[in-house]
Amino acid sequence: MRIMILGAPGAGKGTQAIRISEKFEIPHISTGDIFRYNIKNNTELGIKAKEYIEKGLLVPDDLTIDIVKDRLNNSDCQNGFLLDGFPRTLNQAEALEDVLSSMKIFLDVVLNINIDDDIVIKRLSGRRVCPNCNKGYHIDYMPPKVSDICDGCNTKIIQRKDDSEETVLERLKTYHNQTKPLKEYYMKKV
């Protein structure tokens, strides 16, 4: 099964992606996770990507498309994959189409999660994460048992830099301008 999930930041793409990829036993490919891994490990890609991510902007297409191309050519993608957070621009969607057609495969499902902006703002600005084990929390909806401390590993939980309210507003603007049109793009392909 080859699946793509579209939706605004904070729509719950990551949460659903984990469930679906486990159910179908396919790799979960999240460009956001790939960038965060590279930032954490201070790689050349991470250093470049950080500059954009912390401002709520998209990482340039040339960097992003190559990562996904490489990832899809990995042998674990032979029986399917789930794309989460890619594509985010029309240019990326067209590049993906070229990659898939050169591999003689196509997407089976494109899922779009709709969510209102005010809910996104509430969800993301209250979101916290454990920098050690990656467990997610929300200050109102899912707080840790002890304030600010991860239930799993006792590390102090943090707010992702790109979840600050100012950056969330920028990410939403980016979503409406560059990513939302993809819904229409894929609807026309049905």
For ligand AMP, the binding residues (CB under 6 A) are 9, 30-32, 35, 52-53, 57-59, 64, 85-88, 92, 162, 171
Judged by DSSP in three states, 170 sits in: helix
Nearer to ligand AMP, 155 or 160 (CB): 160
88 catalytic? Reply is yes
> Considering 122, 160, 180, 183, which one is annotated as catalytic?
160
160 catalytic? Reply is yes
Nearer to ligand AMP, 87 or 144 (CB): 87
Which 3-state string (H, E, C) describes 112-129? EECCCHHHHHHHHHCEEE
Residue the block writes with tokens 């500059």: 51
Closest residue by beta carbon to ligand AMP: 32
Nearer to ligand AMP, 22 or 51 (CB): 51
Alpha-carbon span 165 to 41, nearest angstrom: 26
Residues facing 142 on adjacent strands: 138
> Considering 50, 88, 123, 128, which one is annotated as catalytic?
88
> Considering 2, 13, 50, 123, which one is annotated as catalytic?
13
127 catalytic? Reply is yes
Nearest-5° angle of CA 121, CA 123, CA 125?
60
Nearer to ligand AMP, 31 or 125 (CB): 31
Alpha-carbon span 152 to 170, nearest angstrom: 32
Exposure of 169 in the CB half-sphere (CA atoms within 13 A): 2
Nearer to ligand AMP, 21 or 30 (CB): 30
CB of 11 to ligand AMP, least distance (A): 10
Q: Which residues are catalytic?
A: 13, 88, 127, 160, 171
